[in-house]
Amino acid sequence: MTELLFREDAYEREAQATVTRLTPEGGIVLDRALFYPTGGGQPGDSGSLSWNGTVLKIATTVKGEGDQVVLVPAEPSSLPPEGTPVTQTLDWERRYRHMRIHTALHLLSVVIPLPVTGGSVGADKGRLDFDMPEAPADKDALNESLNHLIERDLVVTEGWISDEELAANPGLVKTMSVKPPMGAGHVRLVRIGEGAGQVDLQPCGGTHVARTGEIGRVRIGKVEKKGRQNRRVNLHLDG
């Protein structure tokens, strides 16, 4: 079992690990994964891997077999043999911007309470696609509502729900196109706000900030028509 460090602490920037496998394609599998693999609309992390004076740049991270996380080198190079102790160093600035955008998109789904048909996270902007026949009548009002939620500095926490509990509460799933990973017996939930102040609760495997105030001010950008029933709402970090 690969230990998923990014899930235990999304703010950890460096960690030790041991190489457990090299893939035929030239990827590297570790016993402890600091890097988040591409999934749920969030890109895989980048950074570097170092051992015995060698530094290898990691371009991205993807999911492998089972629960394995595969680090993809930026260019062909000598790889650390299986059993080698290595140090993982995250491109923190890029990851942190992903965390801010991803959490902001959860809040976007609060101010636009419609089914989500797709989405993606970037370092400077993200987007959600909604089952929305008509464009929002007042984008400025949505923008202010979203930034008001951010400024409330709500705490962001996680919990777990069983597959059976999730199946009994289908309203928790906002995304129509991507279903939460089930089959392991439990699904991770991300909660924004606490108690009576809770504003959002939904399944998600991505990385998030600890409080909404960390997101900073955002701006709703272009709203694009993507089919008869769909609208794509773009979201930008303002700083």
State the CATH number of the domain containing residue 27: 2.40.30.130
Do 114 and 231 belong together in one domain? yes
Q: What integer pLDDT is reported at residue 118 of this predicted model?
A: 92
Residue 66: pLDDT band with limits 50, 70, 90: confident
Report the alpha-carbon distance of residue 218 to residue 231 in Å, rounded.
19
Give the amino acid at 82: E
Do 103 and 83 belong together in one domain? no
What's the predicted TM-score (pTM) here? 0.91
**How many domains does the chain contain in total?**
2
**CATH code of the domain covering residue 168:** 3.30.980.10
Strand order in 186-192's β-sheet? 156-162, 186-192, 200-203
Do 136 and 216 belong together in one domain? yes
pLDDT digits (tens, 9 = 90+) for 81-95: 999 999 999 999 999
Q: What integer pLDDT is reported at residue 67 of this predicted model?
A: 84
Report the alpha-carbon distance of residue 43 to residue 69 in Å, rounded.
13
Residue 173: pLDDT band with limits 50, 70, 90: low
Helix (H) or strand (E) segment spanning residue 70: strand 69-73
The SS3 call for residue 131 is strand
Do 206 and 101 belong together in one domain? yes
Write out the residue range of the structural domain in which residue 143 sits. 95-237
Do 110 and 83 belong together in one domain? no
Helix (H) or strand (E) segment spanning residue 6: helix 5-8
Q: What integer pLDDT is reported at residue 176 of this predicted model?
A: 45
